[in-house]
């Protein structure tokens, strides 16, 4: 991969310029997007699908999502003709619960590892560029997020992790959503600012912390963005 810009130059680029710079300096056919179909992901997906109509859209199919999330995913996949890839854990919900009970209650970190982190780390292996909808404002654990970072998967494979909206505020997300007339998850209208698996998503306990409703306040991350390590 022959990206010619340095970190400071990437940080100065607007989202469209950043996406173009990354794709121009890489092999576009080896790019993917992880997508939970939250508002940020839809904005990045809207940018990418105009440039790469068949970009793989990786959805972590944990088996525990809200029904409305599945409905929204399926409708958008049809409307936008997405190359949707449902990333599956090794065990079904029924198999896991038969063996370990309601792991999301007793050990949510282990549940996320089995149903999100491990499957995604494996699914990312064929790719060199990983686009995300992450923003620094979302969580203290994301405060130092860079727009472009080299990450290393547990296997040792290195790839670029690209977060074009890293420096955006929540207001900018909704401004772009409205300006582009983008569809969004109806769960936002019910007051959920951060949406994951249904058993682990509640209305925020702290109005100033969008992720305070996740995992009953016991943690802030599922582990996807902490199990892959910055390589540089």
Looking at the annotation, which residues are catalytic?
222
In this structure, are residues 183 and 72 in contact, taking their beta carbons and an 8 Å threshold? yes
Write the DSSP assignment of 166-190 as a string of letters.
Answer: TT--HHHHHHHHHHTT----GGGGG
CA-based torsion, 194, 15, 137, 162: positive or negative: positive
Closest by alpha carbon to 163, among 1, 29, 43?
43
**Cβ atoms of residues 17 and 114 within 8 Å:** no
């Amino acid at each position: 991969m022959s990206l010619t810009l340095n970190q400071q130059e990437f940080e100065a680029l607007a989202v469209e310029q950043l996406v173009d710079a990354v794709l121009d300096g890489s092999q576009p056919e080896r790019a993917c997007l992880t997508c939970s179909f939250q508002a940020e992901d839809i904005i990045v997906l809207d940018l990418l699908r105009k440039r790469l109509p068949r970009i793989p859209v990786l959805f972590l199919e944990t088996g525990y999502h809200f029904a409305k999330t599945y409905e929204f995913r399926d409708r958008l996949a049809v409307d936008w003709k997405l190359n949707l890839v449902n990333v599956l854990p090794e065990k079904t919900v029924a198999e896991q619960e038969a063996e370990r009970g309601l792991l999301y209650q007793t050990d949510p970190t282990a549940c996320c590892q089995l149903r999100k982190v491990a499957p995604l780390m494996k699914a990312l292996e064929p790719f060199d560029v990983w686009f995300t909808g992450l923003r620094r404002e979302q969580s203290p654990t994301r405060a130092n997020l860079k727009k472009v970072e080299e990450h290393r998967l547990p296997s040792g494979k290195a790839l670029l992790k690209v977060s074009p909206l890293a420096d955006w505020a929540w207001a900018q997300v909704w401004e772009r959503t409205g300006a582009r007339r983008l569809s969004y998850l109806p769960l936002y209208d019910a007051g959920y600012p951060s949406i994951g698996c249904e058993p682990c998503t509640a209305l925020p306990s702290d109005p100033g912390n969008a992720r305070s409703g996740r995992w009953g306040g016991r943690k802030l991350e599922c582990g996807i963005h902490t199990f892959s390590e910055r390589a540089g």
